[in-house]
Amino acid sequence: MDLAAAEQFAQMGKFIGAGLATMGLGGAGVGVGIIAGNFLSGALRNPSAAPGQMANLFVGIAFAEALGIFSFLIALLLMFAV
Amino acid sequence: MSEEASTGFAIHPMDQFVVKPLFGGDHIAWYTVTNVTMWMAIAVLVIAALLMLGTRRRAIVPSRSQSVAELLYGFIHNMVEEVTGHEGVKYFPYVMTLFLFILFSNLLGLLPMSFTTTSHVAVTVVLALMVFLGVTILGFVKNGIGFLGMFWVTSAPLAIRPILALIEIISYFVRPVSHSIRLAGNLMAGHAVIKVIAGFATLVVASPVVIGAVTALYGLEMLVAVVQAYVFTILTCVYLRDAVGGAHH
Amino acid sequence: MATEAHDAAAATHGAADAGHAVGMPQLDFSTWPNQIFWLLVTLVAIYFILTRVALPRISAVLAERRGTITNDLAAAEELKQKATEAEAAYNEALATARVEAGKIVAAARAEIEADLAKATAKADADIDAKAAVSEQRIAEIRAGALESVTEVAKDTAKELIAALGGKADARSITAAVSARLKG
Tell whether C6 is covered by a domain. Answer: no
Grouping H, G, I as helix, E, B as strand and the rest as coil, residue B34 is strand
**Which portions of chain B are predicted below pLDDT 50?**
1-7, 246-249
State the count of interchain CB pairs (< 8 A) between B and C.
Answer: 142
Read off the pLDDT of residues C56-84 as tens digits, 9 standing for 90 and up: 988 888 898 889 899 999 999 999 999 99
What confidence tier does C22 reach under pLDDT thresholds 50, 70, 90?
A: low
Answer whether C2 touches B (CB < 8 Å): no
**Domain-located, residue C83:** yes
Q: Is there a domain that residue C23 lies in?
A: no
Q: Enumerate chain A positions whose Cβ falls within 8 A of a Cβ in C.
A: 6-7, 10-11, 14, 76, 79-82
* Neighbors of chain B with 3 or more C-beta pairs under 8 Å: A, C
Phi/psi region, residue B8 (left: phi>0; alpha: psi -120 to 50; beta: rest), is: left
Q: CB–CB of B34 and C59 under 8 A? A: no
Q: Which residue has the higher pLDDT, A62 or C11?
A: A62
Inter-chain residue contact B174 with A66, CB threshold 8 Å: yes
The torsion angles phi and psi of B34, rounded to 5 degrees, stand at -120, -175
Residue B128 CA to residue B176 CA, distance in Å, equals 5
Return residues 15-34 of C near B (CB < 8 Å).
16-17, 19-28, 30-34
**For range C114-122, the mean pLDDT:** 94
Sequence ranges of the domains in chain B: 2-244
Return the half-sphere exposure (C-beta side, CA atoms, 13 A cut-off) of residue C104. Answer: 6
Give yes or no for residue C15 having a pLDDT over 50: no
Residue B152 is predicted with a pLDDT of 84
Query: Does any domain span residue C75?
Result: yes
* The pLDDT of residue C16 is above 70: no
Residue A3's closest chain C neighbor by CA? Answer: C1
What per-residue confidence (pLDDT) applies to B8?
A: 52
Distance of alpha carbon C27 from alpha carbon C176, whole angstroms? 170
Give the pLDDT score at C177: 77
Of C1, C24, C27, Cβ closest to residue A10: C1
Instruction: Evaluate whether A25 touches A68 at the Cβ level (below 8 Å).
Output: yes
pLDDT confidence bin for C8, thresholds 50/70/90: very low
In chain C, % of residues over pLDDT 90: 50
- pLDDT tier at A69 (50, 70, 90 boundaries)? confident
Domains of chain C: total: 1
Q: Which of A77, A71, A69, A26 is nearest to B180 (CA)?
A: A69
Nearest-Cα distance to chain A for B182, in Å, is: 6
pLDDT at C130 (0 to 100): 93
Asked if B19's CB is within 8 angstroms of C31's CB, the reply is: yes
Complex-level ipTM: 0.87
Q: Per residue in C28-64, pLDDT tens?
A: 888 899 999 999 999 999 999 999 988 998 888 889 8
Residue C12 lies in a domain: no
Does the domain made of A19-81 have the CATH classification 3.30.750.80? no
What string of DSSP letters covers chain C? -HHHHHHHHHHHHHHHSTTS--S-GGG-GGGHHHHHHHHHHHHHHHHHIIIIIIHHHHHHHHHHHHHHHHHHHHHHHHHHHHHHHHHHHHHHHHHHHHHHHHHHHHHHHHHHHHHHHHHHHHHHHHHHHHHHHHHHHHHHHHHHHHHHHHHHHHHHHHHHHHHTT----HHHHHHHHHHHHH-
The 8-class DSSP code of residue B111 comes to S
Q: Are B76 and B233 in contact (CB under 8 A)?
A: yes
Mean pLDDT of C131-140: 92
Run of H or E residues at B44: helix B35-48
More confident position, C108 or C173: C108
Structural domain spans, chain A:
19-81
Burial of B31-56, coded b for 16+ CB within 10 Å and e otherwise, reads ebebebbbbbebbbebbbebbbebbe
- Parent domain of C143: 32-182
Q: What is the pLDDT of residue C20?
A: 65
**Chain B contact for C11 (CB, 8 A cutoff):** no
**Which among A11, A35, A59 is the top mutation candidate for probing chain B, defined by the most B β-carbons within 10 Å of its own β-carbon?**
A59
List of chain A residues whose C-beta atoms are within 8 Å of the C-beta of residue B231:
58-59, 61-62
A 10 A CB-CB count for A80 gives 19
Please check whether residue C3 lies inside any domain of the structure. no
* Residues of B in Cβ contact (< 8 Å) with A61: 231
C-alpha span between B192 and C172 (Å, rounded)? 163
- B144's torsion region: left (phi>0), alpha (psi -120 to 50) or beta? left
Query: Residues B2, B8, B10, CA angle at the centre, nearest 5°?
Result: 75
Provide the mean pLDDT of chain A: 88
Q: Is residue C133 part of a domain?
A: yes
Q: Does C54 touch chain B if contact means CB atoms closer than 8 Å?
A: yes
Degrees, nearest 5: CA angle B87-B93-B97: 135
Partners of B21 in beta bridges: B34
**Sign of the dihedral through C-alpha C7, C13, C16, C17:** negative
Asked if A73's CB is within 8 angstroms of B181's CB, the reply is: yes
The reply to whether C25 falls in a domain is no
Task: In whole angstroms, give the CA distance from residue B110 to residue B201.
Answer: 19
Selection from B54, B90, B87 nearest residue B72 by Cα:
B54
Q: What is the pLDDT of residues A8-40, one digit of tens each?
A: 998 899 999 999 998 999 999 999 999 999 999
Tens digits of residue pLDDT in B18-76: 888 888 777 888 888 899 999 999 999 999 999 888 888 888 888 888 889 999 999 99
Of the listed ranges B171-175, B233-237, C132-136, C152-156, the one predicted with least confidence: C152-156
- Statement: residue C11 has pLDDT above 50: no
Contact at CB, C50 and B17, closer than 8 angstroms: no
